[in-house]
Each structure stands twice: as C-alpha cells, then as structure tokens.
C-alpha cells in the first residue's frame, strides 16, 4: 500500500511539475515554429522575469501570481527588442555557418545571466508568501480513503494558472487575426508573405509572445522554487527537450511533452535518486530522438487526432 501511495504521490507531483514545464516548452515551440531558430536564451528570459517578480514582491509586496501580469508585458517588450535589433540583422548577414543565430542567442543569454550576477549577486532568493504552507490532504475530503495524497496549494494554483494561460494562448492562436498570421508564417513564411502578411512584424510579435509565456512560467515557478542568476541554463534545456519530445512547433505536443517530462523527472528522483533527475531528462530526450524523431505530434497526426 505504501508503495502505491508513493507511486501515486510521485505521479501527482510529476503532473503538477509537468504543467509548468509545458508552459516553458510552449514559449520555445512558438518561437521555433515561426522563426525556425532555437532560442538558447529562453531560460535566461525566464530568469529575468523571475527577478522582476522577486523585486515586485520584496519591495512592493506584490503577490507573484499578480506579477504575471506585469512581468509578461515587460518580457514581451524585451523579446520584441531582441528580435528586432539583434536577430533580424543576423538573418540578413551572409556567413558560412547558418547556426549563427543560435550562437547569437547564447551570447544574449550570457549577457543577461552575467548582468543578473553583477546587479543582484549570486545569492539564492525566494518569495516566502504567507500561504506557502497550505496543503490539502485527500483524507480531508474523503474520511476513509485507503491511501493518503497531498497537494500543496502553491503547486495547485500554479498548475491552474498554467492551464489558463495555455487555453488563452490556444484561443489567441486559433481565433484572432494575428494568431492566424503567426500560424501561417510558421507553416510557410514565403506563402505568408505572398498573402500580404508582414512576416517581420509577425516574427517580432511571436518572439515577444514566446518571451511573455516563459515570463509567466517564471512567475508561477518563483513561489515554488528559488532564484539565482545561473538558473536559466537548465530551463533552456528543459524547454528544448520538451520541444523535441513534443514535435517541433507543435503546441499540443509541447503540452503532452511537458507532462511526460514532469512525471518522468519526478519518478527518477523518487526511484533512482535526486541527482539523477537531469540524466533522466536527457534519457527521454535521446529516446525521443531515436524512437520518435517526429515527436508526439507525429503520433497524433498518424492517428488523425490533431495537428
């Protein structure tokens, strides 16, 4: 019974973690779909958003969940500026290696992380909200429940928030004009130009949108996690693994990929050991590359479940 309890608890916390991972992955898959480049500064953008949320909380007492609505627009502007003044000029430059844009985003990430170290020192910071210790137990709701499970309020709220943001994004992409333009550009940018879509503006917009989504993820993460300047790198990798696992540029794939990764990571840390969780992450990554190169999106497509 205890075995089952541990398993279910691990599964639940994995799913909750996966919901947040999905949000991080969504931001990257959006940028990758439209621009066909990997944004290696993704985690660093999230770190910037987390610092915004942290300072809002410490100086003004703004709740991190409210900070979502401040940090996301700020990062949207930052993303648009990066796209407009750094990435667009590089796309035009002739060079031997086409991966220049990827290396460029590495440079941007280095600058952001280093500036954060200089301004905020490499201390570990967190936002101790007063409802942090609230936890719900299954036995509170069901007296004679044979097994005991617990969910922390913070995790639950973050999870619900990330679902809401995902739904909002889905609505935005499928129902609004600019959302349709983004999807058209990611399918075929030449055809999009011929249809009269201002592709450069769409690119800048989607880089900003991707940054805003990861900023929201950062704000949802900060009450659960701690913050330090070098945190970006690991989340960039997580986002990338999710994108590969889900299928490049596929939103549904990114959500499912995020959930799978969350569950898998939480299983690895329960059953193999805390330190091995990052290796589990890469094991999934490699397995996805070898056995499912098209990602989950290709599975869905072959079953005609979605696109």
- Binding residues (CB under 8 A) for another protein: these are 37-38, 40, 86, 89-90, 93-100, 102-104, 106-111, 113-115, 117-118, 233, 237, 240-241, 244, 273, 275-276, 278-279, 282, 285-286, 289-290, 293
CB of 133 to another protein, least distance (A): 31
Q: Which is nearer to another protein, 195 or 287 (CB)?
A: 287
Q: Which is nearer to another protein, 73 or 89 (CB)?
A: 89
Q: Which is nearer to another protein, 128 or 275 (CB)?
A: 275
Q: Which is nearer to another protein, 141 or 291 (CB)?
A: 291
**Cβ-Cβ contacts under 8 Å for 73 (sequence gap 6 or more):** 212
Q: Which is nearer to another protein, 63 or 278 (CB)?
A: 278
CB of 289 to another protein, least distance (A): 6
**Residue 174 to residue 182: CA distance in whole angstroms:** 10
Tokens of 20: 């947040």
CB of 19 to another protein, least distance (A): 23
CB 296 within 8 A of CB 246: yes
| Closest among 247, 257, 243, 241 to 301, alpha carbons compared | 247
| Closest among 234, 206, 278 to 50, alpha carbons compared | 234
CB of 245 to another protein, least distance (A): 12
Q: How far is CA 226 from the centre of its chain?
A: 17
Q: Which is nearer to another protein, 202 or 244 (CB)?
A: 244
Tokens of 269: 């840390």
CB of 230 to another protein, least distance (A): 9
**Cβ-Cβ contacts under 8 Å for 85 (sequence gap 6 or more):** none
CB of 94 to another protein, least distance (A): 7
CB 256 within 8 A of CB 15: no
CB 16 within 8 A of CB 151: yes
Strand-pairing partners, residue 184, are: none
Q: Which is nearer to another protein, 199 or 233 (CB)?
A: 233
CA dihedral defined by 109, 93, 207, 241, rounded to 10 degrees? Answer: -60
CB of 113 to another protein, least distance (A): 6
Phi, psi of 150 (to 5 degrees): -135, 145
């Amino acid at each position: 019974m205890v075995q089952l309890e541990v398993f279910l608890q691990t599964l639940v916390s994995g799913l909750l973690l996966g919901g947040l991972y999905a949000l991080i992955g969504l931001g990257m898959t959006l940028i990758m779909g439209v621009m066909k480049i990997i944004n290696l500064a993704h985690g660093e953008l999230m770190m910037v958003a987390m610092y915004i949320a942290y300072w809002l909380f410490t100086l003004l007492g703004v709740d991190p969940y409210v900070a979502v609505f401040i940090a996301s627009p700020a990062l949207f502007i930052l993303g648009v500026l990066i796209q407009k003044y750094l990435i667009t000029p590089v796309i035009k430059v002739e060079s031997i290696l086409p991966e220049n844009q990827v290396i460029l985003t590495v440079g941007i990430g280095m600058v952001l992380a280093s500036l954060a170290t200089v301004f905020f020192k490499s201390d570990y910071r967190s936002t101790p909200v007063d409802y942090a210790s609230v936890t719900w137990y299954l036995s509170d709701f069901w007296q004679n429940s044979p097994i005991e499970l617990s969910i922390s309020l913070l995790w639950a709220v973050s999870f619900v928030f990330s679902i809401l943001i995902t739904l909002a994004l889905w609505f935005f992409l499928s129902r609004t004009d600019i959302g349709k333009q983004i999807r058209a550009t990611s399918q075929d940018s030449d055809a999009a130009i011929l249809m009269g879509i201002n592709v450069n503006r769409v690119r800048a917009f989607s880089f900003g949108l991707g940054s805003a989504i990861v900023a929201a993820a950062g704000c949802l993460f900060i009450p659960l996690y701690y913050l330090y300047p070098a945190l970006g790198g690991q989340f960039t990798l997580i986002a990338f693994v999710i994108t590969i696992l889900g299928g490049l540029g596929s939103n549904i794939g990114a959500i499912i990929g995020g959930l799978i990764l969350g569950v898998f990571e939480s299983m690895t840390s329960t059953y193999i050991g805390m330190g091995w969780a990052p290796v589990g992450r890469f094991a999934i990554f490699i397995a996805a590359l070898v056995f499912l190169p098209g990602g989950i999106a290709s599975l869905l497509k072959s079953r005609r479940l979605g696109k």
